[in-house]
Amino acid sequence: MTGFALGAEQEEWCGQLRALAAERLRPLADKGEPGRVNRPLLAALGELGLLERVFTSGALELCLLRESLAYGCTEAETALALQGLGAHPVLASGTPEQRARWLPEVRAGRAVAAFALSEPGAGSDAAALALEAVRDTGSAADRDGGGWRLSGEKCWISNAPEADFYTVFARTGEGPAAKGVTAFVVPADRPGLRGEPLDMLSPHPIGRLSFDGVPVGPQDLLGEPGRGFRVAMDTLNRFRPSVGAFAVGMARAALDATLAHTAARRAFGGVLGDLQAVGHRVAEMATRTEAARLLVYAAAGAYDAGSPDVPRRSAMAKLLATETAQYVVDHAVQLHGAVALQRGHLLEHLYREVRAPRIYEGASEVQRTIIAKELYR
């Protein structure tokens, strides 16, 4: 890849992924129930080796994977991404025993992972976590002594309450704010852990978790006590550019649908695309989409190269790509008219999907704050 174009092999692979998403994964997604984990879809992602790619790919390849799947099947893209988000902390910070237990099952699509960071009072301000981990020297989950009991709530957790395990971030109190957060891997069948689904705009599963003295021990630690916030931020820095890639995939799908519609739809003695106002709007949609795509690729390239400015580049990529996708999908709906508002239309689906990425993994306002801090550093 150059700074401006993908190589021939990369373009071919992306085309194959788009076709695979439309032909193999889209039918499985259509059979799923909105708001529920689609386990047959996850199993297919595992059988096709795509979940394996989440853990073995560099950041750029992950972006190409997510963008291409999003173009043809947003549900498949989201299912794949959530497996990566929930299990990447185990890959990066887990013990050999934790990796052996969970990662093969996640890669095969048999175990569902979830990233449990957000709380009712700690969304954008992730360092304000209130889920408490109190020392419990007699914990049943602690074989060696010195365990904890988790008490509190998590909210807006993707794949909850149906996940098989959760990467959970709790306050252990080694220091103030982010310095007192510890990461744990918590199986869903732990006593005291309950969950309920939330009825959200986005079609993928999101829920609330309650922790009533849930026992965890040293064998459940991800990394070191008091270092959990770094585990969370390292995961988010890896996945933020690819959230932008998800958004770019949706924008490109909306743009292509708009080009096809405005080139064929007859109005005012010609086709819509002949109208200067329409042509100019489509040109703006295409230009913004291309700019977002290039920024996403640049951020992923910086991550793969170990660049020190990854936080700034990742924040810029997520910010521009998600805001652009919202703009493109909204204008695509406008140019299609009422037909795009019918339940089941591609753009009706994208209109519901495109809103959430501007909030999750750091809202647009948070990305602007990160960018400003990095610029003034």
Tell me the C-alpha distance between 199 and 231, whole Å: 29
C-alpha closest to that of 154 among 130, 180, 172, 128? 130
Pick the CATH number of 113-225 from 3.40.50.720, 3.90.45.10, 3.90.1300.10, 2.40.110.10: 2.40.110.10
CATH architecture of 8-108: Orthogonal Bundle (1.10)
Q: What is the mean pLDDT of residues 16-45?
A: 96
Which tokens in the block code for residue 303? 């991550």
Going by pLDDT thresholds of 50, 70 and 90, the confidence category of residue 72 is very high
Tell me the C-alpha distance between 276 and 288, whole Å: 18
User: Residue-wise over 189-227: b if at least 16 C-beta within 10 A, else e?
Assistant: ebeebebeeeebebbbbbbbbbbeebbbbbebbbbebbb
Q: Which of 75, 77, 353, 361 is catalytic?
A: 361
Give yes or no for residue 189 having a pLDDT over 60: yes
The model's pTM is 0.91
Helices 74-93 and 228-264 pack at an angle, to 10 degrees, of: 160
Q: For residue 30, what are the contacts with CB-CB under 8 A and spacing of at least 6?
A: none
CATH architecture of 230-376: Up-down Bundle (1.20)
In the chain, where are the structural domains located?
A: 8-108, 113-225, 230-376
361 is catalytic: yes
Q: What is the mean pLDDT of residues 29-53?
A: 95
Give yes or no for residue 124 having a pLDDT over 80: no
Q: What is the mean pLDDT of residues 171-194?
A: 90
